[in-house]
Amino acid sequence: MSPPHVHAKTLRDAGVQVTGQRLAVYDEVVRRPHSDADTIAAGVRDAIGSVSTQAVYDGLRALTAAGLLRRIEPPGSPARFETRVGDNHHHLVCRTCGALADVDCALGETPCLEPTDPAGYSIDEAEVIYWGQCPTCQEATSDRGES
C-alpha cells in the first residue's frame, strides 16, 4: 500500500498527464509486474475504489507509449505489463501455468539482433521467449508421475 504520489514526478517527466487512475495503474504494475490488464484493473479498484476498464487500458497505453511500461504479449495469454524498460531482457513462460519470469540477455545489449540473413529487413529489436516449465509445475508434474 505505498502512496501513489511517489510516482507523480515520474509520470510528469515522461510527459504523461498525472491523474489518480494513472498513478494507481503505474503503482500497480510496479508492485506486481507481469500482470494483465484485468488483474491491474482489480488492483487499482482495490486501491482507489473504482476505475473503468477503459481508463485502465488507456492508462496502460499512455504509459507504454511514454516508455514507462513495456507490454509483453505471450501467445495464448492476454497482454502483460512490466516496468523494466530500456534494459534488454527476455522472458520465460511456463507452458503449464502461464507464469512469466525475467531472464537477462545472454549476449549483452542486443542479443541475436543480427540474424544470418535479414532478408532486407531493418531490425530494431529481438524478442526472445523461452518456453518451458516453472519449478512449481515441474514438481507437480513429476509428482503425478507424468513423462
Partner DNA sequence: TAGAGATTCTTGACTCGTTCCAGTTTATGT
Partner DNA sequence: ACATAAACTGGAACGAGTCAAGAATCTCTA
Q: How far is the CB of 61 from a second copy (least distance, A)?
A: 13
User: In angstroms, rounded to a whole number, what is the distance separating the alpha carbons of residues 107 and 126?
Assistant: 12
Evaluate whether 40 touches 60 at the Cβ level (below 8 Å).
yes
Nearer to a second copy by C-beta: 20 or 98? Answer: 98
126 is a contact residue toward a second copy (CB under 8 A):
yes
User: In angstroms, rounded to a whole number, what is the distance separating the alpha carbons of residues 27 and 53?
Assistant: 16
Partner touching 119 among a second copy, DNA, none, CB below 5 to 8 Å by kind: a second copy
Q: Binding residues for a second copy, how many (CB under 8 A)?
A: 42
Q: Report how far apart the first and last C-alpha atoms of the chain are (Å, whole number).
A: 43
Q: How far is the CB of 19 from DNA (least distance, A)?
A: 4
Partner touching 35 among a second copy, DNA, none, CB below 5 to 8 Å by kind: none
Q: Strands 70-72 and 80-82: what pairing?
A: antiparallel
129 is a contact residue toward a second copy (CB under 8 A):
yes
Evaluate whether 59 touches 4 at the Cβ level (below 8 Å).
no
Q: Which residues of the chain form contacts with a second copy (CB under 8 A)? A: 71, 73, 75-76, 79, 90, 92, 94-95, 101-107, 111-135, 138
